[in-house]
């Protein structure tokens, strides 16, 4: 190396440069040459190694650890430590007397090597994320938030180590110093810290997955989760708008997750119709004969007739009032018809393992509510609404056949008819 320096000095002196400048410029030129040579060697090695990785990666077909090991991005980053290592090996021979320059270049090289290692670790984490996100059992898990958490931790620790190398201090001393400013750091990184904690809770408790249908009225949120990251949960609402909320909001506040409904294979219908109280009456023999023409009602009518007949024989009526004996009502038969119709004629209704009710609710000023409570065999929204619509279309049209009427508040047309009747009178 001394021979090369002497030749370089003679060349610079021959150009008319003074000795003072020669002593400064020759080291700078050699440093530039060494840096250029180091990066040239690195580029050659990268081309050779990455081509080899291409050939190997074509043979790796499964998403395994082997795929991570031959990942071009990871190797491409790792090979960048070749140049600083070569520089660290060569500069001590050149700067034997310039301790300041030697220290500065060495620290820069070590800092660059640490930076390369940090990037490599993050590429490894990203590769692991890509592999597990393709697996069926992990597709709907919020892995991206965990990935970002890991990368943030790596960058934070790596940044502290790089600073300690550049300033020549022990990294542990810097970490101790950060403890004193923890309150400031917590204030600055509040959202990220809360996001990390909330992301872990959401994942550990299986509260949220990508693809879940969730509703959160407080944030006007109702749709499918499309992404879960460190700082945001992104939801595509059914009107195709996108709402983002911080993960800790889902932990702090209540939200509704429809995954249980979707996994069960049935979606609940809970809706009622209001029967006008003035239309409820006891059934006459003529009405009962007319109802027997409805096939699905025949078993119920025959069974109920025997039950009532047996009761009335044991408890003879005293007096002529029809209230002295048991009789069927049109509302009771209508309720039995709804039950039979749903059970016998609709294959789209869940009947095994799911609650099935046709019941009366508390009478109100709007009549007596007849509630239908059952589950469909599909959870697809459009199909569910179609089944629900078909059921209530039929029931509403069937009400007059039982001598009943639906309660409906007077409309403008009703008022006009009353006025016409009043004029005619």
pLDDT tens-place string over residues 77-101: 778 888 888 888 877 776 666 677 7
Please tell me the pTM assigned to this model: 0.56
Phi-psi region of 245 (alpha: psi -120 to 50; beta: other; left: phi over 0): beta
Of 86, 90, 81, 82, which is closest to residue 112 (Cα–Cα)?
Answer: 81
**How open is the CA angle 147-151-154, to the nearest 5 degrees?**
145
The DSSP 8-state label assigned to residue 137 in this structure reads: G
Cα distance between the two ends of the chain: 126
Of 374, 293, 282, 367, which is closest to residue 330 (Cα–Cα)?
Answer: 282
pLDDT at 176: 66
pLDDT at 59: 64
| CB 250, CB 208: distance < 8 Å | yes
Query: Backbone phi, then psi, for 145, in 5-degree steps?
Result: -65, -40
Cα–Cα distance measured from residue 176 to residue 4, given in angstroms and rounded to the nearest whole number: 47
Taking CA atoms, 299 is separated from 303, 339, 344, 413, in Å, by 6, 12, 12, 42
Cα–Cα distance measured from residue 381 to residue 7, given in angstroms and rounded to the nearest whole number: 84
| CB 370, CB 396: distance < 8 Å | no
In sequence order, the β-bridge partners of residue 256 are 215
In SS3 terms, 268-328 reads as EEEEEEEECHHHCCECCHHHHHHHCCCHHHHHHHHHHHHHHHHHHHHCCCCCCCHHHCCCC
User: Domains (ranges, CATH) in the chain?
Assistant: 2-139 (no CATH), 170-264 (2.30.30.60), 267-412 (no CATH)
Residue 294: count of CB within 10 angstroms of its CB? 17
| Mean pLDDT, each 10-residue run in order, the chain (425 residues) | 54 55 62 81 83 69 52 73 83 68 82 87 79 67 69 82 81 65 64 72 76 89 86 88 88 87 88 93 91 91 90 74 82 94 85 89 92 92 91 94 89 77 73
């Amino acid at each position: 190396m001394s021979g090369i320096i002497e030749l370089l000095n003679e060349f610079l002196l021959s150009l008319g440069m003074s000795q003072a400048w020669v002593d400064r410029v020759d080291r700078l030129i050699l440093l530039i040459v060494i840096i250029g040579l180091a990066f040239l060697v690195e580029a050659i090695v990268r081309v050779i190694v990455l081509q080899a990785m291409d050939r190997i990666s074509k043979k790796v077909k499964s998403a395994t650890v082997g795929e991570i090991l031959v990942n071009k991005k990871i190797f491409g980053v790792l090979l960048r430590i070749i140049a600083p290592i070569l520089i660290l090996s060569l500069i001590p021979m050149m700067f034997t007397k310039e301790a300041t320059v030697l220290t500065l270049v060495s620290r820069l090289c070590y800092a660059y090597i640490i930076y390369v290692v940090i990037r490599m670790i993050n590429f490894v984490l990203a590769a692991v994320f890509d592999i597990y996100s393709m697996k069926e059992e992990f597709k709907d898990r919020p892995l991206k938030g965990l990935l970002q958490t890991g990368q943030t931790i790596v960058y934070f620790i790596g940044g502290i180590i790089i600073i300690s190398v550049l300033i020549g201090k022990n990294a542990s001393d810097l970490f101790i110093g950060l403890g004193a400013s923890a309150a400031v750091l917590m204030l600055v990184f509040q959202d990220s810290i809360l996001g990390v904690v909330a992301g872990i809770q959401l994942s550990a408790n299986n509260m949220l997955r990508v693809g879940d249908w969730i509703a959160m009225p407080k944030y006007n949120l109702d749709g499918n989760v499309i992404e879960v990251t460190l700082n945001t949960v992104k939801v595509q609402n059914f009107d195709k708008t996108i709402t983002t909320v911080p993960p800790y909001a889902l932990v702090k506040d209540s939200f509704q997750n429809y995954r249980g409904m979707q996994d069960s294979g049935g979606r609940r219908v809970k809706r009622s119709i209001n029967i006008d109280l003035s239309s409820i009456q006891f059934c006459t023999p003529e009405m009962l004969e007319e109802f027997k023409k409805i096939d699905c009602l025949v078993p119920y009518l025959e069974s109920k007739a025997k039950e009532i007949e047996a009761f009335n024989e044991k408890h003879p009526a005293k007096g002529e009032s029809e209230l002295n004996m048991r009789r069927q009502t049109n509302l009771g038969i209508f309720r039995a018809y709804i039950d039979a119709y749903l059970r016998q004629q609709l294959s789209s209704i869940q009947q095994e393992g799911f609650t099935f009710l046709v019941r009366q609710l508390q009478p109100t000023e709007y009549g007596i509510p007849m509630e239908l409570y059952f589950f469909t065999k599909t959870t697809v929204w459009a199909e569910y609404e179609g089944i629900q619509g078909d059921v209530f279309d039929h029931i509403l049209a069937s009400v007059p056949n039982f001598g009943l009427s639906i309660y409906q508040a007077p409309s403008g047309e009703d008022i006009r008819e009353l006025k016409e009747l009043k004029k005619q009178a």
